[in-house]
A and B are shown apart, each in its own frame.
Chain A
Amino acid sequence: MQVDQTLDCKGLSCPMPIIKLAKTIKKMNSGEVLEMIGTDPGSKTDVPAWCEKTGNIFMEQTEDGGAFKFYIKKK
């Protein structure tokens, strides 16, 4: 998968990851993929819910050593 931009949200807790995600996606072009890295377990439900609400495409989620990676394609 080609990643166009990476957003580091490690150590941040609710609501900062979603605020940062919204701001970053806003500046990206349609069809580009964002990789978001975070450690807040709440993001596992928040990020897919945010994508559904905003119409962006939630592609994949991986987990490694306590950090989560989310891949989101801008609509």
Chain B
Amino acid sequence: MFKKGVLRELFDGLFGKSWPMWVGGILLALLNILLFVIKYPWGGSGGYISIGQNLFQSLGATNIGTKIPINLHTVALLNIFIVLGAFISSLFSKEFSIKVAPIGELVKGLIGGALMGIGATVGIGCTIGGFFSGVPALSGGALFLSLGFMLGTIVALKYLLWEMEALPKISMGKSCTLLPGTGKKTSWQRWLGWILIAVILFIFSNYTGKGTALSKILGWHVFLGLIFGIILQRSRYCIVRAFREPFMTGESSAPVAIIISILVVLIGFTVLKYFGVGNAGETAVRAIEMKSVYANFWLRALLGGFIFGLGMTLAGG
């Protein structure tokens, strides 16, 4: 048995203060390698495309590609449970509150998000699938996508600096914070977190209990989504920062964290491909080499990356 209080201390240690970004980076890199063993490397935008297809089809749109239901789509499930995992993590660390930004910032968020959606579709990939998985998979397209991210970030950052001088009102105005996590009467946050963990574990066991290969894979995406979300929230692992800080503050902790994690993923992916482990083992060697190597080699990748880079810096977060 643990001495009384040891588990509590561990919990407070994990959720009391934020983790260095490089710690998050290495953990995410290991999980990305695990995802490659289970199915495909980590991706993000594919899940949003699936959610969009389902949404628009339910609204009556046709001719929008082959639709897979969200509950059978690995990336869509992963996305949803990453958001839930990060939510639980913010409840546990008592950082959760609903912050409503000034109206100008909300509009910028909307425009930035739309640009990210367009960019990810044009370039096939976002900062996750196209960069965090694409670069270590040695995709040529991913290199052009990354170059596009960098150019888009520089332009959007120039815009933000200009906006501050010329239109300072955009980032001023009414804002409010609801349900702050600090102060009195916050124990409900941790209870809600535990209830959500129980619900997610129930969904996980429901998937894996079905016994088919696909349901097991889907179940593990539910569980890993939870872990991804917690790591992302605690370490504030942010790829946008790695692209932005060199041009903004010159601070290097984010770029260093991202470079370390890319190296870990590179080694892991290369080993998996070389030995044909896991999902990669199902295909011929030539096909393995092509896994996660995108067809949009240069112009579309560069353009998509540029649009995405504009959007991600404008939207912030």
- On A, residues with C-beta under 8 Å from B are 8, 10-16, 18-20, 22-23, 39-42, 44-45, 49-50, 53-54, 63-67
Residue of B nearest to A18 (CB): B249
**In the assembled complex, how far is the CB of residue B223 from the closest CB belonging to chain A, in whole angstroms?**
26
Once A19-B248, A42-B236 are accepted as A-B contacts, the answer to whether A66 and B101 lie under 8 Å apart by CB is: no
18 contacts between A and B (CB under 8 A): A10-B175, A11-B175, A11-B177, A12-B101, A12-B102, A12-B171, A13-B105, A14-B238, A14-B241, A15-B157, A15-B316, A19-B161, A39-B97, A41-B18, A44-B18, A53-B249, A64-B183, A66-B99
**In the assembled complex, how far is the CB of residue A64 from the closest CB belonging to chain B, in whole angstroms?**
7
Are B101 and A11 neighbours in the complex by a CB distance under 8 Å?
yes
Are A66 and B97 neighbours in the complex by a CB distance under 8 Å?
yes
- Asked whether any CB of chain A lies closer than 8 Å to the CB of B244, the reply is yes
**In the assembled complex, how far is the CB of residue A55 from the closest CB belonging to chain B, in whole angstroms?**
12
Interface residues of B in 293-317 (CB under 8 A from A): 313, 316-317
**In the assembled complex, how far is the CB of residue A19 from the closest CB belonging to chain B, in whole angstroms?**
6
- Asked whether any CB of chain A lies closer than 8 Å to the CB of B166, the reply is no
Are B182 and A63 neighbours in the complex by a CB distance under 8 Å?
yes
Q: Is the interface of A mostly helix, strand, loop or mixed?
A: mixed
Contacts of B290 in A (CB 8 A): none
Are A16 and B175 neighbours in the complex by a CB distance under 8 Å?
no
Q: Choose among B95, B99, B248 the residue that contacts A15 (Cβ–Cβ < 8 A).
A: B248
Are B249 and A12 neighbours in the complex by a CB distance under 8 Å?
no
**In the assembled complex, how far is the CB of residue B21 from the closest CB belonging to chain A, in whole angstroms?**
9
Interface 0/1 of B158-190, CB less than 8 Å to A: 001100100000011001110011110000000
- On B, residues with C-beta under 8 Å from A are 18, 95, 97, 99-102, 105, 157, 160-161, 164, 171-172, 175-177, 180-183, 236, 238, 241, 244, 248-251, 253, 313, 316-317
Are B100 and A11 neighbours in the complex by a CB distance under 8 Å?
yes
Q: Choose among A44, A49, A67 the residue that contacts B177 (Cβ–Cβ < 8 A).
A: A67
Are A45 and B236 neighbours in the complex by a CB distance under 8 Å?
yes
A40 CA to B251 CA, complexed, in Å: 19
Residue of A nearest to B171 (CB): A16
**In the assembled complex, how far is the CB of residue A24 from the closest CB belonging to chain B, in whole angstroms?**
10
Contacts of B316 in A (CB 8 A): 13-16
A23 CA to B163 CA, complexed, in Å: 12
Question: How many residue pairs between the two chains, A and B, have CB atoms under 8 Å in the bound complex?
Answer: 81
Once A11-B100, A12-B105 are accepted as A-B contacts, the answer to whether A45 and B18 lie under 8 Å apart by CB is: yes
Contacts of A39 in B (CB 8 A): 97, 99, 175, 177
**In the assembled complex, how far is the CB of residue B259 from the closest CB belonging to chain A, in whole angstroms?**
18
Residue of A nearest to B156 (CB): A15
Are B105 and A16 neighbours in the complex by a CB distance under 8 Å?
yes
A13 CA to B102 CA, complexed, in Å: 11
Are A11 and B181 neighbours in the complex by a CB distance under 8 Å?
no
Contacts of A11 in B (CB 8 A): 99-102, 105, 175-177
A53 CA to B248 CA, complexed, in Å: 12
Contacts of A54 in B (CB 8 A): 249
Contacts of A23 in B (CB 8 A): 164
Q: Choose among B172, B176, B177, B317 the residue that contacts A13 (Cβ–Cβ < 8 A).
A: B317
- Of A15, A42, A64, chain B has the most CB atoms within 10 Å of the CB of A15
**In the assembled complex, how far is the CB of residue B97 from the closest CB belonging to chain A, in whole angstroms?**
5
**In the assembled complex, how far is the CB of residue B171 from the closest CB belonging to chain A, in whole angstroms?**
6
Are A50 and B101 neighbours in the complex by a CB distance under 8 Å?
no
